[in-house]
Amino acid sequence: MGKEMIGLPIVGMVMAEVAQVGLMIMGKAAMSHGMPNFVFVFYSNALASLILLPASFLFHRSHRPPLTFSNLCWFFLLGLLGCFAQISGYAGIYYSSPTLATAMLNLIPGLTFILAVAF
């Protein structure tokens, strides 16, 4: 790995955190002006789909898994859980602040470690 590639994971994580915090701040601002959190989650997921779907078709066209009923069920379950988590998170932001939600995001790696050790 070259010297220019060493900092690439760090840059990626910083960009991911900035995107999450920015989305939380935009969500708080939108909900303060009356937008329901269901609508905000729908718009943010629609925008993410519009950005990521063309990229996945371009870069992963050759090694795409078969589209079976089992895979479709898993995709649906993952989407449902992801939307439920986002709606719950934005409901929490509505009643508190984006700062608290961002601080709670920092607990996820620790909780993941505890669950990995326990199971």
pTM score: 0.67
The tens digit of pLDDT for each residue in 2-47 reads 677 777 888 887 888 888 888 878 888 888 898 888 898 899 889 9
Q: Rounded to an integer, what distance in angstroms lies between the CA atom of residue 60 and that of residue 55?
A: 8
How far is it between the farthest Cα atoms of the chain?
49
Contact (Cβ atoms closer than 8 angstroms) between residue 102 and residue 21: yes
Q: What residue has token string 């989305």?
A: 23
Domain spans of the chain, in order of start:
3-118
What pLDDT does 69 receive?
94
Handedness of CA 47, 49, 54, 56 (dihedral sign): positive
Taking a C-beta distance cutoff of 8 angstroms, is the pair 44, 89 a contact?
A: no
pLDDT of 77 strictly over 70: yes
